[in-house]
Structure 1
Amino acid sequence: MLQLEIPTVTVAEAIAAVTQRMRLQPHSSRILARTADMEAAEKLYITAGYNGELHALGRELPATGNDSEYLVYAYDGGLVAGKQGRVIYDRIMEGTPHERCPLCGRGIATTLDHQLPKSEYPLLAIIPANLVPACSACNQRKSSKAPVDASDMLLHPYFDELGAHRWLRARIHEESPARAEYFIEPADTWSITFTDRVVKHFNFFGLGRQYAVAAAGKLATARIRHAGLLERAGSDELRLHLAEAAEGHWLVSGNTWEGALYAALAESDWYVNGGMNEI
C-alpha cells in the first residue's frame, strides 16, 4: 500500500509504440482508428481517478463495439510482446521505488496490473494511468475484479492520497513465540468511505497475515541482537534503537510493515525488558 507518481508516458505514446511495427492486420489499423477514443478515455480516467469515481467510469467511456479484441491485443501483443511497446512497458515499471509492489508493499514488482481490468474495459488496456506495477501474487489475486461502487474500490497507487499519517500499526502479543498483529489506524482526515476502502484493500490482499509472517521471521533473527543490546546498554537504549529503526523506515518508505513492527517493539515494555528472550 504505497503511493506512486502517475506515469508521465501518455496513451498517444503507447499507441504509437505498439503499432509502429505491428504487421498483423486488421489489428494495427483498428487500434489506430480508436486513437481519439483512447485519448478521451485517458482524460476521463484521470479525472475519475482523482475524484474517486473510477467505479462509475464505464458509463462515460465510448463504446468499443467490435474492436474489443484489437484493443486488448494492443496490450498483449503490443505493449507486452512488441519491441517498441516493451519500452513503454518498462518505463511504467520504473515508476515504483526499489521495485517494491505498491499493492502489498512487500513483493517485487515484476508485472503491470490493470487497475480496471482490460477484459471489461478494453479501451483502457494500454492507458498508462490504468497500469500499475505489481508483484505476481497481487496481480493474480486481483485478477479481473472490477469495483461495483465507491466502497468496493481497492486503493489506486496513483490517485489515492493516504497522507502523512502512520495508519499501519502493529501490536506485540506477549507470548511464546511472540507475534505481531497488524491493523489499520485511520487518519482523522479520512472519510468513512475512504477508511472502508483502505480496510478493504488491507483485507483483500491478506496483508495482515502477510505482514505477520514477515514479522515473525524478523523477530526470530533480530532477537539475539536486541538481547545483546539490552544486556550491554539497558532497556532505555534498546527502546531508543527500536524507535530510531522505526523512524528510519518511515522516512524512507512511509508506512511499511517493518516500520510498524519496530514502532510496536519500541512501545512494548515487555519486549524492551527482556521479552525477546521468550521468543
Structure 2
Amino acid sequence: MVAKIKKPEEDCVDVLNLVLEERVKFKGFYKRIALDLSARYVLYDYQKGCPSGMPPLVLRDYVDSDAEVESRKKSLIGLYNPKEGKYPYNELEKLRKKNKLLACPVCGEPGRPRTLDHCLPKTTYPEFAINLLNLVPACDWCQGEKLADYKSAAGSRSFIHPYFDDVNRPLYAINLEQPYLTPVISLEIRKDLPLELQALVTSHLEGIDFWERFKEYFESSYQSIIRIASAARSGGRITVTEAIQSSYLLAAEKGVNCWDAVLYRSILDDADVLGFLENGKLSEFP
C-alpha cells in the first residue's frame, strides 16, 4: 500500500509454545532453546522488528557439537512448513488467504497478497521462522525482490515494517511532465515526512524495485484517467476534478499509498495536469 496493518490476532509466544509442544525430533534441542526463543519473540515486538542490537541466536549454544548446528537450523526453518493439522498451519493460512487486504502492504500494488514475507529472513534468523510478527502478507513480486535483504549499513531495518511503522499517510508522489497526454513521470518522496522516515521510504522502495513496476502500471492506468476525464467532459454533470476526486476516494479505501490512490492524488495536487485534463485535447476512444 505501503501501509500499516493490524498485527496477527494470535499471540506469537503462545503459538510458539504450541509448536514446541509438538516437537518430537530434536526434543532436547527445543527444550534447551525454548525460553530463549520466547524471550526473543518478546524482544522482537519491543524493538519493532529492528535487527539493531538483536543479532541472530548462536545455535551452537544449544547443541553438543558443531556438526549439529546446521541440522537444527534446518529444523527451525522447517517449522514454517507444517503439515495440515499441526501448528502453525492454520495461523499461516489465515495470514496468507484470509488477510482481507485489497493491496499489497509492502508495495501498494492492487490485489490481495497471497504469500508471506519474513521481515527478518529465516535464513539469517531461523529463530523467527514462525514468529507471526515477522511474517507479513506480501505479493509474489515483493517477496522475490526483497529476498534476504533486511538491514542498512547502520544495522537498522532497511524496509518498512507494516505491523509497526506509522505509514498510513501519503509517503510519495508522482510528478508528471509534458506532454500530458503521454507524460514523463518521476518519483518524489514527500518532504513533509520526518527525515528518518524519508530515508526508510527511499530504501524500502529501492529494495522492492518499486519504480520499474510502477512505471509499467502507470502506462495503462493513466489511459484510464484520460477516459475518466473524457467521460466527465462529455457528460457535463461533474467536472473532471470532481470525477478524479471521486475515484481517489474509492482507491484510498484500499490504502492511501495503494498505486491508484497515489496516482489520483498526484494528479489532484498538480494544477497544470488538471488544467490539461479539464481543457486540453484528449485522445479519442471508441
TM-score by length of 1: 0.82
* 1:107-137 alpha-carbon deviations (Å, 9 max, x no partner): 6422221111122222222211111111222
Amino acid at match of 2:142: C
Asked if structure 1 preserves the Cα contact closer than 8 Å seen for 2:226 and 2:277, the reply is no
Aligned to 1:274: 280
**Paired residues of 1:64 and 1:122 also in contact (CA < 8 A):** no
Match of 1:227 in 2: 230
Distance 2:145 2:3 in 1: 17
**Secondary structure of 1:79's partner?**
coil
Q: Which residue is 2:36 aligned to?
A: 37
For residues 31 and 96 of structure 2, what CA distance do their matches in structure 1 show? Answer: 24
How far residue 256 of structure 1 moved from its aligned partner, in angstroms, is: 1.8
Q: Give the match for residue 57 of structure 1.
A: 54
1:180–1:261 Cα contact (<8 Å) kept: no
Pick from 107, 130, 135 the counterpart of residue 131 of structure 1.
Answer: 135
Whether contact under 8 Å (2:119, 2:161) holds in the other structure is yes
The amino acid of 2:41's aligned partner reads E
Aligned partners of 1:207, 1:250: CA distance in 2, in Å? 19
Q: Which has the higher helix share?
A: 1
Asked if 2 retains the 8 angstrom alpha-carbon contact of 1:11 and 1:127, the reply is yes
- Following TM superposition, by how much is the alpha carbon of 1:209 offset from its aligned partner in structure 2, in angstroms? 2.5
Distance change >3 Å, CA 146–CA 166, structure 1 → 2: closer
Return the match for 2:190 from 170, 185, 191.
185
Question: What letter matches 1:219 in structure 2?
Answer: Y
Cα contact 2:118–2:136 (8 A) shared by 1: yes
TM norm structure 2: 0.80
Q: Residue type matched to 2:3 in 1?
A: L
Decide which moves more: 78-87 or 238-247. Answer: 78-87
Report the CA distance shift for 1:103/1:258 in structure 2 as closer, same or farther (over 3 A).
Answer: same
Distance (whole Å) between structure 2 residues aligned to residue 152 and residue 11 of structure 1: 21
String of CA shifts for 1:162-181, please: whole Å, max 9, x gaps.
25x32221222332523543
Deviation per CA, 1:18-48: give whole Å up to 9, x if none: 456555x22x553344221111001111111
The alpha-carbon deviation at position 222 of structure 1 amounts to 4.3
| Unaligned ranges ≥5, structure 1 | none
Residues 206-263 of structure 1 show CA distances to partners (whole Å, capped at 9, x for unaligned) of 22232222121112244234213212328x7111111222233224422222112112
Task: Report which structure shows greater RCO (CA 8 Å, sep ≥6).
Answer: 2
Indicate the larger mover: 102-111 or 61-70. 61-70
In structure 2, stretches of 5+ residues that fail to align are 64-68
CA spacing shift, 1:121–1:273, aligned 2, 3 Å: same
1:5 equivalent in alignment to 2:33: no
Q: Sort the Cα spacing of 1:69 and 1:137 in 2 relative to 1 into closer, same or farther, 3 A.
A: farther
One-letter amino acid matched to 2:30 = I
Rounded Cα–Cα distance in structure 1 between residues aligned with 2:40 and 2:161: 17
CA pair 68-17 structure 1, distance change in 2 beyond 3 A: farther
Q: Which residue pairs with 2:93 in the alignment?
A: 90
Counterparts of 2:247 and 2:102, CA distance in 1: 21
Residues 114 and 131 in structure 1, CA contact (< 8 A), matched pair in contact too? yes
